[in-house]
Amino acid sequence: MPVLERGLIHVYTGDGKGKTTCALGAALRMAGHGGKVAIVQFLKGWSFYGEIAGLSYLPNVRLEKTGRAEFVDKRAPLLDDFAEAERGLTLAEGFLVSGSFDMVIMDEINVAIDYGLIPARSVVGALRRRQPWVEAILTGRNAPGELIALADVVTEMREIKHPFKKGLASRMGVDF
Ligand code: ATP
Ligand code: MG
């Protein structure tokens, strides 16, 4: 039995901290009610994100990471970057339509679209084809207008302060 009768679409965007951690909080909450959650991470091939091992403690949450371990150059993406983003989209669409999940999180998918790795219209198509009870969450800076128009929940994390601006590096356990 699905947890929800009718799933909505969330977009967490903006330049402030908290988009990915907000989506992870939503996963935690859904898992607590016995719901099944699939998370596809885009542009996150690096293996040291705390959520990878952290989520493995939750039996109902499946995480698939895609992307290379290195940063993508927006002006000169590699063929691998396109292939990995497409692989992520195919995975996400499979989870959205399968009927096996209550929530599907596409972490940093907005960035993959912004970098031109996958078209916004393909993401919109995948969302439209989802099972009606699936809550879909999309994160990342520079969310495209098409997704903002389609979404039911749109939150912009706006940077007021970030320690990065003081020259502080990202910290294990907090930023990754
Ligand atoms: P988090 O993963 O902490 O919830 P986020 O998903 O909102 O952050 P992203 O835009 O995905 O942030 O940024 C990825 C990395 O950059 C994270 O390690 C995050 O902590 C850090 N970060 C987030 N916002 C800023 C900012 N305004 N300036 C510099 N670094 C940031
Ligand atoms: Mg993020």
Is the pTM of the predicted complex or chain greater than 0.75? yes
Cα separation, 71 vs 60, in Å, equals 30
Six-digit token pair at 165? 């601006």
Tens digits of per-residue pLDDT, 68-124? 999 999 999 999 999 999 999 999 999 999 999 999 999 999 999 999 999 999 999
Does pLDDT of 47 surpass 90?
A: no
Nearest 5 degrees, angle CA 83-CA 114-CA 14?
130
Residue 108 has a pLDDT of 98
Average pLDDT, the chain: 97
Q: What is the pLDDT of residues 80-91, one digit of tens each?
A: 999 999 999 999
The pick from 11, 12, 15, 17 for probing ligand 1's pocket by mutation, whose C-beta has the most ligand atoms within 8 angstroms, reads: 17
Nearest CA to ligand 1 atom 4: 18
CA of 175 to the centre of ligand 1 (A): 7
Instruction: Quote the pLDDT of residue 45.
Output: 85
Indicate the burial class of 25 (C-beta count within 10 angstroms; 0-12, 13-18, 19 or more). Answer: exposed
Model pLDDT, residue 166: 94
Ligand nearest to the CA of 176: 1
* CATH 3.40.50.300 matches 9-166: yes
The whole-angstrom separation of Cα 148 and Cα 13 is 10
Distance from C-alpha of 151 to C-alpha of 157, rounded to nearest angstrom: 16
